[in-house]
Amino acid sequence: MIRTSANRPRLSVFRSAKYIYGQIIDDKTGKTLAAANDLKLKTRKPKLKKAERAYEVGKLLAEKAVKEKIKEVVFDRGRFKYHGRVKALAEGAREGGLKF
């Protein structure tokens, strides 16, 4: 069970075979505050590997969160191990200014 608060929304990660998705969710209201995925990154930066695209998604998500004045989140990796693309997304989000 992930515990969130009003000032710390949840950063949820979903990883498929091809893509990675991240969204920041306010569990109190049930609304998505910011979201990013690598569907468009694949066409903009086709030479990047999956982990590199995940890192860029994390940075993009952090930029959107900072615009929404979100600085701290609770990281929810779901059923995925903290390894590879999930770890790269988390590192990109930290690089972009989010604190876990």
33-65 pLDDT, tens digit per residue, is 999 999 977 777 778 899 999 999 999 999 999
Return the domain boundaries, the chain.
10-96
DSSP summary character for residue 5: B
- Top-level CATH class of 10-96? alpha beta
CA distance 79 to 40: 25
Residues 6 or more apart in contact with residue 35 via CB below 8 angstroms: 21, 22, 23, 24, 61, 64
Percentage, residues of the chain above pLDDT 70: 94
pTM of the model: 0.90
